[in-house]
Structure 1
Amino acid sequence: MMIIKMADQPHEFEQIHRLNYQLFVEEIPQHPANAEKVLVDKFHFKNRYLIALKQGRLIGMVCYNELRPFSLDGKVDELDQQIPAYKRLAEVRLLGVEKSERKISVAYRLLRSLGVELLRQEIDTAVISGTTRQIKLYTKMGFVPFGSLVGKGDAMFQPMYITATQLRDDFGNHQS
Protein backbone atom coordinates (compact mmCIF):
# COMPACT_ATOMS: atom_id res chain seq x y z
CA MET A 1 0.00 0.00 0.00
CA MET A 2 1.27 3.48 -0.90
CA ILE A 3 1.19 6.32 1.63
CA ILE A 4 1.47 10.00 0.67
CA LYS A 5 2.72 12.30 3.43
CA MET A 6 4.85 15.34 4.18
CA ALA A 7 8.48 14.34 4.70
CA ASP A 8 9.49 14.96 8.30
CA GLN A 9 11.97 12.22 9.25
CA PRO A 10 15.77 12.22 8.69
CA HIS A 11 15.65 8.84 6.89
CA GLU A 12 12.99 10.23 4.52
CA PHE A 13 15.23 13.17 3.60
CA GLU A 14 18.15 10.80 3.01
CA GLN A 15 15.96 8.83 0.59
CA ILE A 16 14.85 12.08 -1.09
CA HIS A 17 18.48 13.02 -1.79
CA ARG A 18 19.19 9.56 -3.25
CA LEU A 19 16.09 9.60 -5.48
CA ASN A 20 16.97 13.16 -6.52
CA TYR A 21 20.39 11.82 -7.64
CA GLN A 22 18.85 8.92 -9.57
CA LEU A 23 16.45 11.24 -11.37
CA PHE A 24 18.52 14.36 -12.03
CA VAL A 25 22.02 12.89 -12.45
CA GLU A 26 21.59 9.36 -13.77
CA GLU A 27 18.33 9.69 -15.73
CA ILE A 28 18.06 13.37 -16.71
CA PRO A 29 21.71 14.47 -16.93
CA GLN A 30 21.24 17.84 -15.27
CA HIS A 31 23.91 17.59 -12.53
CA PRO A 32 27.40 16.01 -12.30
CA ALA A 33 27.89 12.54 -10.83
CA ASN A 34 29.42 11.99 -7.39
CA ALA A 35 30.68 8.93 -5.51
CA GLU A 36 28.05 9.24 -2.76
CA LYS A 37 25.17 9.08 -5.29
CA VAL A 38 23.41 11.83 -3.34
CA LEU A 39 22.03 15.11 -4.69
CA VAL A 40 20.76 17.72 -2.24
CA ASP A 41 18.56 20.23 -4.06
CA LYS A 42 19.93 23.77 -3.93
CA PHE A 43 16.58 24.90 -2.49
CA HIS A 44 16.36 22.06 0.03
CA PHE A 45 16.50 24.51 2.96
CA LYS A 46 13.17 26.05 1.89
CA ASN A 47 11.42 23.09 0.20
CA ARG A 48 8.43 21.27 1.68
CA TYR A 49 8.35 17.70 0.36
CA LEU A 50 5.36 15.47 -0.26
CA ILE A 51 6.51 11.90 -0.59
CA ALA A 52 5.08 8.56 -1.65
CA LEU A 53 6.16 5.64 0.52
CA LYS A 54 5.70 1.92 0.00
CA GLN A 55 6.58 -0.17 3.06
CA GLY A 56 8.69 2.72 4.37
CA ARG A 57 10.65 3.04 1.10
CA LEU A 58 10.50 6.29 -0.87
CA ILE A 59 9.04 5.68 -4.34
CA GLY A 60 8.13 9.23 -5.33
CA MET A 61 8.39 12.88 -4.37
CA VAL A 62 7.42 16.42 -5.21
CA CYS A 63 8.18 19.61 -3.35
CA TYR A 64 7.21 23.26 -3.29
CA ASN A 65 8.31 26.51 -1.73
CA GLU A 66 7.14 30.13 -1.69
CA LEU A 67 10.43 31.90 -1.03
CA ARG A 68 11.85 33.88 -3.94
CA PRO A 69 14.04 33.68 -5.84
CA PHE A 70 12.72 30.53 -7.47
CA SER A 71 14.71 28.36 -9.83
CA LEU A 72 12.55 29.77 -12.64
CA ASP A 73 13.46 33.35 -11.66
CA GLY A 74 16.98 32.57 -12.86
CA LYS A 75 15.79 30.97 -16.11
CA VAL A 76 12.81 33.07 -17.27
CA ASP A 77 13.07 36.83 -17.76
CA GLU A 78 10.25 38.77 -16.11
CA LEU A 79 8.57 35.62 -14.77
CA ASP A 80 5.72 37.53 -13.10
CA GLN A 81 4.70 39.14 -16.40
CA GLN A 82 4.34 35.74 -18.09
CA ILE A 83 1.90 34.19 -15.62
CA PRO A 84 -1.55 35.21 -14.37
CA ALA A 85 -1.81 37.70 -11.50
CA TYR A 86 -1.59 35.97 -8.12
CA LYS A 87 -1.82 36.61 -4.39
CA ARG A 88 0.44 33.76 -3.25
CA LEU A 89 2.86 32.05 -5.64
CA ALA A 90 4.81 28.83 -5.13
CA GLU A 91 7.32 26.94 -7.21
CA VAL A 92 6.82 23.19 -7.57
CA ARG A 93 10.00 21.14 -8.04
CA LEU A 94 11.45 17.65 -8.19
CA LEU A 95 8.41 15.65 -9.21
CA GLY A 96 9.79 12.18 -9.68
CA VAL A 97 8.97 8.52 -9.25
CA GLU A 98 11.45 5.69 -8.83
CA LYS A 99 11.84 3.82 -12.15
CA SER A 100 10.54 0.48 -10.83
CA GLU A 101 7.37 2.18 -9.52
CA ARG A 102 6.50 4.33 -12.52
CA LYS A 103 2.80 4.23 -12.88
CA ILE A 104 0.67 7.22 -13.74
CA SER A 105 -1.17 6.71 -10.44
CA VAL A 106 1.93 7.52 -8.32
CA ALA A 107 2.63 10.83 -10.07
CA TYR A 108 -1.09 11.65 -10.17
CA ARG A 109 -1.56 10.98 -6.44
CA LEU A 110 1.51 13.08 -5.60
CA LEU A 111 0.24 15.97 -7.74
CA ARG A 112 -3.29 15.61 -6.39
CA SER A 113 -1.99 15.70 -2.80
CA LEU A 114 0.18 18.68 -3.71
CA GLY A 115 -2.85 20.49 -5.16
CA VAL A 116 -4.81 19.89 -1.96
CA GLU A 117 -1.84 21.14 0.12
CA LEU A 118 -1.41 24.28 -2.01
CA LEU A 119 -5.12 25.07 -1.67
CA ARG A 120 -4.91 24.45 2.09
CA GLN A 121 -2.01 26.93 2.24
CA GLU A 122 -4.09 29.42 0.16
CA ILE A 123 -1.49 29.42 -2.61
CA ASP A 124 -3.37 30.51 -5.72
CA THR A 125 -0.74 29.97 -8.43
CA ALA A 126 2.21 27.63 -8.86
CA VAL A 127 5.00 27.50 -11.43
CA ILE A 128 7.00 24.46 -12.47
CA SER A 129 9.81 23.53 -14.84
CA GLY A 130 8.30 20.39 -16.33
CA THR A 131 10.63 17.95 -18.04
CA THR A 132 9.84 17.84 -21.74
CA ARG A 133 9.62 14.05 -21.31
CA GLN A 134 6.38 14.50 -19.33
CA ILE A 135 4.65 17.50 -20.94
CA LYS A 136 1.58 15.38 -21.68
CA LEU A 137 1.20 14.45 -17.99
CA TYR A 138 1.58 18.05 -16.80
CA THR A 139 -0.88 19.49 -19.31
CA LYS A 140 -3.38 16.74 -18.54
CA MET A 141 -3.11 17.75 -14.87
CA GLY A 142 -3.94 21.37 -15.78
CA PHE A 143 -0.51 23.01 -16.06
CA VAL A 144 -0.26 25.65 -18.80
CA PRO A 145 3.03 25.99 -20.75
CA PHE A 146 4.52 29.46 -21.19
CA GLY A 147 7.76 30.93 -22.50
CA SER A 148 10.65 29.11 -24.12
CA LEU A 149 12.23 25.85 -23.05
CA VAL A 150 14.96 26.12 -20.41
CA GLY A 151 17.89 23.81 -19.69
CA LYS A 152 20.61 22.20 -21.79
CA GLY A 153 21.16 19.12 -23.91
CA ASP A 154 19.09 16.16 -22.71
CA ALA A 155 17.83 18.13 -19.68
CA MET A 156 15.23 20.44 -21.23
CA PHE A 157 12.27 21.80 -19.28
CA GLN A 158 9.08 23.68 -20.14
CA PRO A 159 8.07 26.51 -17.79
CA MET A 160 4.42 26.01 -16.80
CA TYR A 161 1.91 27.40 -14.33
CA ILE A 162 -1.32 26.29 -12.71
CA THR A 163 -3.88 28.52 -11.00
CA ALA A 164 -6.09 28.00 -7.96
CA THR A 165 -9.12 27.67 -10.24
CA GLN A 166 -7.49 24.75 -12.05
CA LEU A 167 -6.20 23.31 -8.77
CA ARG A 168 -9.73 23.42 -7.31
CA ASP A 169 -11.25 21.94 -10.47
CA ASP A 170 -8.70 19.13 -10.71
CA PHE A 171 -7.70 18.47 -7.13
CA GLY A 172 -9.90 20.36 -4.69
CA ASN A 173 -12.77 17.91 -4.80
CA HIS A 174 -10.55 14.93 -3.97
CA GLN A 175 -9.17 13.67 -0.72
CA SER A 176 -5.54 12.61 -0.60
Structure 2
Amino acid sequence: MKFPALLEFKVATEDWEFELIHQLNYKTFVEEIPQHEAGVSRRLVDKFHSENTYLICLCDKSLAGMLAVRAQRPFSLDQKLPRLDDYLPKGRTVCEIRLLAAEKAFRAGAVFQGLLRLVRDYFRQNSYDLGIISGTTTQQKLYKHLGFVPFGPLLGTSQAQFQPMYLTLETFEEATKALFAVVDSSS
Protein backbone atom coordinates (compact mmCIF):
# COMPACT_ATOMS: atom_id res chain seq x y z
CA MET A 1 0.00 0.00 0.00
CA LYS A 2 1.48 3.35 -1.02
CA PHE A 3 0.25 6.71 0.34
CA PRO A 4 1.06 9.54 -0.53
CA ALA A 5 3.76 9.20 -3.19
CA LEU A 6 6.81 8.94 -0.91
CA LEU A 7 5.31 6.88 1.92
CA GLU A 8 5.05 3.10 1.84
CA PHE A 9 3.00 1.16 4.41
CA LYS A 10 3.83 -2.51 4.89
CA VAL A 11 4.62 -5.35 7.24
CA ALA A 12 8.33 -5.30 8.14
CA THR A 13 10.20 -8.27 6.67
CA GLU A 14 13.77 -7.12 6.00
CA ASP A 15 16.70 -7.12 8.43
CA TRP A 16 17.43 -3.43 7.74
CA GLU A 17 13.79 -2.59 8.58
CA PHE A 18 14.09 -4.39 11.92
CA GLU A 19 17.30 -2.49 12.67
CA LEU A 20 15.47 0.80 12.06
CA ILE A 21 12.64 -0.43 14.32
CA HIS A 22 15.10 -1.07 17.17
CA GLN A 23 16.57 2.42 16.71
CA LEU A 24 13.14 4.11 16.72
CA ASN A 25 12.14 2.04 19.78
CA TYR A 26 15.18 3.45 21.56
CA LYS A 27 14.46 7.06 20.57
CA THR A 28 10.83 6.75 21.62
CA PHE A 29 10.87 4.50 24.69
CA VAL A 30 14.23 5.46 26.21
CA GLU A 31 14.82 9.07 25.22
CA GLU A 32 11.28 10.44 24.88
CA ILE A 33 9.11 8.28 27.12
CA PRO A 34 11.48 7.06 29.84
CA GLN A 35 10.42 3.43 30.11
CA HIS A 36 13.84 1.81 29.70
CA GLU A 37 17.43 2.51 30.71
CA ALA A 38 19.80 4.17 28.25
CA GLY A 39 22.31 1.96 26.46
CA VAL A 40 25.44 2.54 24.43
CA SER A 41 24.06 0.83 21.31
CA ARG A 42 21.16 3.32 21.02
CA ARG A 43 18.85 0.49 20.03
CA LEU A 44 16.07 -1.22 21.95
CA VAL A 45 14.94 -4.70 20.97
CA ASP A 46 11.45 -5.35 22.30
CA LYS A 47 11.17 -8.33 24.64
CA PHE A 48 8.45 -9.75 22.36
CA HIS A 49 10.35 -8.99 19.15
CA SER A 50 10.21 -12.53 17.77
CA GLU A 51 6.42 -12.66 18.31
CA ASN A 52 5.63 -9.15 17.02
CA THR A 53 4.34 -8.27 13.59
CA TYR A 54 5.58 -4.77 12.84
CA LEU A 55 3.39 -2.54 10.69
CA ILE A 56 5.62 0.21 9.36
CA CYS A 57 5.71 3.35 7.26
CA LEU A 58 8.81 3.92 5.16
CA CYS A 59 9.87 7.13 3.47
CA ASP A 60 12.50 6.02 0.97
CA LYS A 61 14.79 3.89 3.16
CA SER A 62 13.93 5.68 6.42
CA LEU A 63 11.46 4.49 9.03
CA ALA A 64 8.82 7.20 9.45
CA GLY A 65 6.54 5.34 11.86
CA MET A 66 5.59 1.94 13.21
CA LEU A 67 3.58 -0.15 15.60
CA ALA A 68 3.60 -3.78 16.63
CA VAL A 69 0.74 -6.25 16.77
CA ARG A 70 0.95 -9.41 18.82
CA ALA A 71 -1.69 -12.09 19.46
CA GLN A 72 0.29 -14.54 21.59
CA ARG A 73 -0.56 -14.66 25.30
CA PRO A 74 0.50 -13.60 27.79
CA PHE A 75 0.26 -10.03 26.53
CA SER A 76 2.38 -7.34 28.13
CA LEU A 77 -0.87 -6.15 29.75
CA ASP A 78 -1.39 -9.63 31.26
CA GLN A 79 1.88 -9.09 33.12
CA LYS A 80 0.83 -5.65 34.40
CA LEU A 81 -2.85 -6.21 35.14
CA PRO A 82 -4.00 -9.39 36.89
CA ARG A 83 -7.23 -10.88 35.54
CA LEU A 84 -7.03 -8.89 32.30
CA ASP A 85 -9.85 -10.88 30.70
CA ASP A 86 -12.29 -9.71 33.39
CA TYR A 87 -12.06 -6.21 31.88
CA LEU A 88 -12.55 -7.22 28.24
CA PRO A 89 -15.71 -7.92 26.22
CA LYS A 90 -16.32 -11.67 26.01
CA GLY A 91 -16.24 -13.75 22.83
CA ARG A 92 -13.64 -11.65 21.02
CA THR A 93 -10.42 -12.51 19.23
CA VAL A 94 -7.86 -10.30 20.97
CA CYS A 95 -4.50 -8.94 19.94
CA GLU A 96 -2.28 -6.35 21.57
CA ILE A 97 -1.16 -3.20 19.75
CA ARG A 98 2.13 -1.87 21.07
CA LEU A 99 5.09 0.34 20.35
CA LEU A 100 3.33 3.07 18.36
CA ALA A 101 6.12 5.43 17.38
CA ALA A 102 6.93 7.96 14.68
CA GLU A 103 9.94 10.09 13.91
CA LYS A 104 9.23 13.68 14.96
CA ALA A 105 9.29 14.94 11.36
CA PHE A 106 6.47 12.49 10.49
CA ARG A 107 4.05 13.01 13.37
CA ALA A 108 1.46 14.85 11.32
CA GLY A 109 -1.48 13.18 9.60
CA ALA A 110 -0.39 10.98 6.70
CA VAL A 111 1.84 8.53 8.62
CA PHE A 112 -0.69 8.05 11.41
CA GLN A 113 -3.58 7.69 8.96
CA GLY A 114 -1.72 5.12 6.91
CA LEU A 115 -0.75 3.09 9.98
CA LEU A 116 -4.40 3.13 11.13
CA ARG A 117 -5.51 1.80 7.77
CA LEU A 118 -2.82 -0.88 7.89
CA VAL A 119 -3.97 -1.93 11.39
CA ARG A 120 -7.58 -2.15 10.21
CA ASP A 121 -6.60 -4.28 7.22
CA TYR A 122 -4.36 -6.48 9.37
CA PHE A 123 -7.21 -7.04 11.86
CA ARG A 124 -9.57 -8.03 9.04
CA GLN A 125 -7.05 -10.39 7.41
CA ASN A 126 -6.31 -12.15 10.72
CA SER A 127 -9.87 -12.16 12.12
CA TYR A 128 -9.02 -10.00 15.15
CA ASP A 129 -11.95 -8.00 16.44
CA LEU A 130 -10.55 -6.55 19.67
CA GLY A 131 -7.32 -4.65 20.17
CA ILE A 132 -5.83 -3.75 23.53
CA ILE A 133 -3.21 -1.11 24.28
CA SER A 134 -1.42 0.64 27.10
CA GLY A 135 -2.07 4.19 25.95
CA THR A 136 0.01 7.08 27.20
CA THR A 137 -2.06 9.43 29.33
CA THR A 138 -0.89 12.38 27.23
CA GLN A 139 -2.87 11.11 24.21
CA GLN A 140 -6.23 10.26 25.81
CA LYS A 141 -8.17 12.66 23.57
CA LEU A 142 -6.84 10.94 20.45
CA TYR A 143 -7.59 7.45 21.79
CA LYS A 144 -11.14 8.46 22.70
CA HIS A 145 -11.64 9.95 19.23
CA LEU A 146 -10.61 6.60 17.71
CA GLY A 147 -13.09 4.73 19.93
CA PHE A 148 -10.81 3.26 22.59
CA VAL A 149 -12.47 2.39 25.91
CA PRO A 150 -10.32 2.83 29.05
CA PHE A 151 -10.39 0.08 31.67
CA GLY A 152 -8.57 -0.80 34.86
CA PRO A 153 -6.13 1.35 36.82
CA LEU A 154 -3.35 3.54 35.44
CA LEU A 155 -0.07 1.68 34.97
CA GLY A 156 3.58 2.71 34.81
CA THR A 157 5.52 5.28 36.76
CA SER A 158 4.98 8.95 37.55
CA GLN A 159 7.29 9.74 34.60
CA ALA A 160 5.38 7.55 32.14
CA GLN A 161 1.78 6.64 32.98
CA PHE A 162 -0.37 4.44 30.78
CA GLN A 163 -4.08 3.66 30.65
CA PRO A 164 -5.14 0.16 29.56
CA MET A 165 -7.72 0.45 26.78
CA TYR A 166 -9.53 -1.72 24.28
CA LEU A 167 -11.05 -1.09 20.89
CA THR A 168 -13.48 -3.26 18.95
CA LEU A 169 -13.03 -3.52 15.20
CA GLU A 170 -16.60 -2.27 14.68
CA THR A 171 -16.03 0.86 16.78
CA PHE A 172 -12.69 1.48 15.10
CA GLU A 173 -14.20 1.19 11.61
CA GLU A 174 -17.01 3.57 12.53
CA ALA A 175 -14.66 6.10 14.15
CA THR A 176 -12.29 6.12 11.17
CA LYS A 177 -14.87 5.89 8.36
CA ALA A 178 -14.72 9.61 7.54
CA LEU A 179 -10.93 9.68 7.78
CA PHE A 180 -10.52 6.76 5.38
CA ALA A 181 -13.13 8.21 2.98
CA VAL A 182 -11.01 11.36 2.65
CA VAL A 183 -7.87 9.28 2.10
CA ASP A 184 -9.63 7.05 -0.47
CA SER A 185 -10.93 10.04 -2.44
CA SER A 186 -7.45 11.55 -2.70
CA SER A 187 -5.77 8.30 -3.85
Calculate the TM-score normalised by the size of structure 1.
0.93
- SS of corresponding position for 2:124: helix
Aligned to 1:161: 166
Q: What amino acid is the match of 1:65?
A: R
Aligned to 1:58: 63
Measure the CA separation in 1 of the matches of 2:26 and 2:156.
17
Measure the CA separation in 2 of the matches of 1:60 and 1:86.
32
| Post-superposition offset of 1:73 | 0.3
Alignment of 1:16-165 (within 5 A): 16-165=21-170
Measure the CA separation in 1 of the matches of 2:78 and 2:99.
16
Q: What amino acid is the match of 1:51?
A: I
Aligned length: 176
Measure the CA separation in 1 of the matches of 2:175 and 2:121.
10
Q: Gaps (5+ residues) in structure 2?
A: 1-5
Structure 1 segments, 4+ long, off by >6 Å, are none
- SS of corresponding position for 1:100: helix
Measure the CA separation in 1 of the matches of 2:150 and 2:113.
18
Measure the CA separation in 2 of the matches of 1:100 and 1:36.
23
Q: What amino acid is the match of 1:40?
A: V
Which of structures 1 and 2 has the bigger CA Rg? 2
- SS of corresponding position for 1:29: coil
Question: Which one has the bigger helix percentage?
Answer: 2
Measure the CA separation in 2 of the matches of 1:149 and 1:116.
29
Calculate the TM-score normalised by the size of structure 2.
0.88
Aligned to 2:3: none
- SS of corresponding position for 1:86: coil
State the percentage of identical aligned residues.
45
| Post-superposition offset of 1:138 | 1.5
